[in-house]
Amino acid sequence: MKQDKYNLSDNVQFMQLWEHCVSSKNEFNNNGCSLHIDLNSRNEYIKYVYSDRNIEKMLYEFDAFIGNPIKVRVSSDIYDKLLFDKNIKLSENSLRNLIDLEEIILLD
């Protein structure tokens, strides 16, 4: 791991895993993750996602977060984007690629 590539300050970022649920088929599929600059941004992001829900549609299909947030460190490029946007949604493939490339380091 290259030290200059990462934000190695005391700052810890948070990752939240998501799943996509299709109740009529009883299917639960991984749906990537969201990255957050801090826990407050994570909580606000979840509130935002849940506030835009249509109850009738939720009976059939919806996204839900899984478990607790995971502490991570991210590359300086991702960190800069998080400083600006506060939250980033990643697909399952993007998440796996960024972990494989050590752009996201799991701490928990």
Nearest to 24, CA basis, from 61, 50, 55: 61
Residues 8/80, Cβ–Cβ less than 8 Å: no
As a whole number of angstroms, the distance between CA 65 and CA 49 comes to: 10
Stretches in the chain below the pLDDT threshold 50: 1
Helices vs strands, H then E, count in the chain: 4, 5
7 in Cβ contact with 46 (< 8 Å): no
The domain locations on the chain are 3-106
Identify the pLDDT of residue 31: 85
The predicted pLDDT at position 1 comes to 44
